Amino acid sequence: MTNPQTSGLRLIWVYPDLLSTYGDQGNVLVVKRRAEQRGLHVERQDVRSDQPIPATGHIYLIGGGEDRPQRLAAERLRRDGGLTHAANNGAVIFSVCAGYQILGHEFVNDLGQREAGLGLLDVTSVRGGAERCVGDVLADVDDHLGLPQLTGFENHQGVTHLGPGVRPFARVRMGNGNGTGDGTEGAWRDRVFGTYMHGPVLARNPQIADLLLRLALGAGALSPLNDQWFDALRTERIAAATREA
């Protein structure tokens, strides 16, 4: 894979026509902006579901979607193979909600059947009970990642079980997370991440965007940015969630 510091950062937004229901496109905007503020040239590519997934991107972002579009996305991603090739090439992948389930071994589709995922994360998702997991979430991110408290908004009915090949992305203080009752939220291994958090999550937690950039660049640190507005949003959302709790 080419060096993004010399050739430019290739940012891939996967299937915006199917997996962009809950404003997760904001994640793409945040990563692109934070890279450009540090002087990087960014080539953003929105890849629709009728187009091949390039295997040469540096960062891939996948959002949430409804049940039928999720099934269609999984079918096409399996058939295409580009995202799996990108992961094998060392690309960074960050997925949300339906995208998170697709990266696992399997999930339950809109027909009530088990649908194969890509197997990029050692997780399996099933359908939960009648009640949806909806509302603000506060969670402590895995210490290995060195990130501040996670804030986001969950809206799902899935229950995602983690296998031994992944670590929980975070552990909830408030909210449901993976819905398993064990306090876990999301999952990650190496450069592949999954979470149920919308928000969009990278606008609420720009340090996660910086983590993705550091991994893609192979950099130990990034130049600091003025995060006044991000900090104000985080403070407001954390305070609002705490009051509601």
Please tell me the total count of domains within the chain.
1
Please tell me the predicted confidence (pLDDT) of residue 241. Answer: 86
Distance CA 95, CA 232 (A): 25
Query: Is 133 annotated as catalytic?
Result: no
Range of the domain at 122: 4-244
Instruction: State the catalytic residue, choosing from 97, 105, 133, 156.
Output: 97
Q: How far is CA 205 from CA 84, 129, 160, 176, in A?
A: 26, 29, 22, 18
Please tell me the predicted confidence (pLDDT) of residue 240. Answer: 87
Distance CA 204, CA 202 (A): 5
Q: Which regions in the chain score pLDDT beneath 50?
A: none
Contact yes or no for 183/210 (Cβ under 8 A): no
Q: What is the CATH number of the domain that holds 135?
A: 3.40.50.880
Record the tokens describing residue 208, joined without a space. Answer: 């996660």
Please tell me the predicted confidence (pLDDT) of residue 79. Answer: 98
Please tell me the predicted confidence (pLDDT) of residue 22. Answer: 85
Please tell me the predicted confidence (pLDDT) of residue 1. Answer: 74
Instruction: State the catalytic residue, choosing from 58, 105, 156, 198.
Output: 198
- What are 132-152's pLDDT values in tens digits? 999 999 999 999 999 999 999
Q: Number of C-alpha atoms within 13 angstroms, CB side, residue 236?
A: 9
The position carrying tokens 């229950």 is: 159
Helix residue spans in the chain (DSSP H): 4-7, 25-36, 67-80, 82-88, 98-103, 201-204, 206-217, 228-244
Please tell me the predicted confidence (pLDDT) of residue 245. Answer: 63
Please tell me the predicted confidence (pLDDT) of residue 4. Answer: 86
Under DSSP, the state recorded for 231 is H
Contact yes or no for 162/184 (Cβ under 8 A): yes
Please tell me the predicted confidence (pLDDT) of residue 150. Answer: 96
Contact yes or no for 26/197 (Cβ under 8 A): no
Under 8 Å CB-to-CB from 228, ≥6 apart: which residues? none
Question: Strand 42-47 to strand 9-14: parallel, antiparallel, or no bridges (unpaired)?
Answer: parallel
